[in-house]
Structure 1
Amino acid sequence: MATAAQVKETTSGPTVKQFSVFLLNKVGALLEIIRLLNESQVHVIGLISQDSTDSALVRLIVSDPEAVEQIFDLHEVAYSISEILVVEMREVAVDLKKLLQCLLMAEVNIHVCYPLLLRPHGRSALALHLDDAECARSVLSGEGYRILNQNDLSR
């Protein structure tokens, strides 16, 4: 697990962390996690869930990653952390196609993508877990996309 000193910085703040949580595929399992976070005033910013017969993998972006690490450790919640790229889009219909074309030209593969639940700066944003985030950051920044950091997402 990364400590605050080990977290990579973008040009204007820390990179965004994605928590992957393994849950039993049962009614109310996700609610239990959300309650734990809400009790500590942590807000869910992005969320995607993939289920199988017995379990579910929930990926979360939160307002306070350090607090979530402590909460999950305290409550023995199994999780992993990965750094992701969050890209702001001004006009989704145009920007999404262009963004995907940029990643294709750079030969960057998308492992997981999902929209955020909130709209930072009043604009849509897409969370991307990529095989080469640094290349994607460079290419997308060069094309005029704003790459958001954790400070942009935290309240």
Structure 2
Amino acid sequence: MSIGDDAGTAFQTMRGRDFPALRQFTVFLENRVGQLLEVVKRFEGTGIRICALSISDAAECAFVRFLVSDADRGREILERSGLAIIETDLVGVELPAGPQPLLRVCTALLQAELNITQAYPLIVRPNGKPAVAIMVENTEFAMQTLIEKGFTIITEGDLEDDPTREG
């Protein structure tokens, strides 16, 4: 018997499937035709889908930011492909009903003095409702603020494929 066997210690990390932040991957690509396709094709046949996408173009390269339905396996695929990636946490928030839902989200974050540095819509619609991914200076405080204001936070588990869910 090795040390630690049957010790009753759970070896789960905070970054498990229930961690409320969404993990964004930023990939740096040469600014030439077909590079995005090559990245997207890496997920073909894996059962992982791209749930959100943002592209920032520069003269020499492009920064592709995306969320996938399984962040752990997605990171493995990207790392095995040899791509330079950066992983960051984003807040996923469901947009409430009403005429200006994004205004309500921005106002809540402003009242907490939180600056939004990136934002883009999710391609998938968790819970059948529109949602956005937002990068802020303090992810945990932003999530706490939004929850206290009555917003629904989107977690990594909400991005998983579920054949019974519509959207």
> Common fold, TM-score beyond 0.5?
yes
Identity of aligned residues (%): 30
Q: What CA deviation, in whole Å up to 9, does each residue of 1:77-124 have, x standing for no partner?
A: 110101110000132633211111111111101110000001111100
Residues 127-146 of structure 1 mapped to structure 2, 5 A cutoff: 127-146=133-152
Give the superposition deviation at 1:8: 6.3
Counterpart position of 2:80: 74
Matches within 5 A, 1:72-151: 72-91=78-97, 93-151=99-157
Deviation at 1:66, TM superposition (A): 1.2
From the two aligned structures, give the one with the greater helix fraction: 1
5+ long unaligned stretches in structure 1: none
2:24 corresponds, among 9, 18, 22, to: 18
Letter matched to residue 153 of structure 1? L
- Residue 11 of structure 2 is aligned to residue 7 of structure 1: no
Q: 1:107 to 1:54 in 2, by over 3 A?
A: same
Question: 2:61 — aligned with what?
Answer: 55
2:44 paired with 1:38:
yes
In structure 2, how many angstroms separate the alpha carbons of the residues matched to 1:101 and 1:67?
Answer: 35
User: What do the CA deviations read for 1:115-146 (whole angstroms, capped 9, x no partner)?
Assistant: 00011111000100100112211111111100
Comparing both structures, which one devotes a greater share of its residues to strand? 1
Using the alignment, how far apart are the partners of 1:79 and 1:92 within structure 2? 37
Q: Return the offset for 1:64.
A: 1.1
Distance 1:101 1:6 in 2: 29
Q: What does residue 159 of structure 2 align with?
A: 153
For the aligned residues, what is the CA RMSD? Answer: 1.5
In 2, the alpha carbon distance for the partners of 1:56 and 1:39 equals 25
Say which one has the larger Rg. Answer: 2
Contact 1:92–1:124, Cα closer than 8 Å, also in 2: no
Query: Which has the higher mean CA deviation after the structures are superposed, 51-60 or 38-47?
Result: 38-47
Aligned to 2:9: none
Partners in 1 of 2:91 and 2:64 — Cα distance? 17
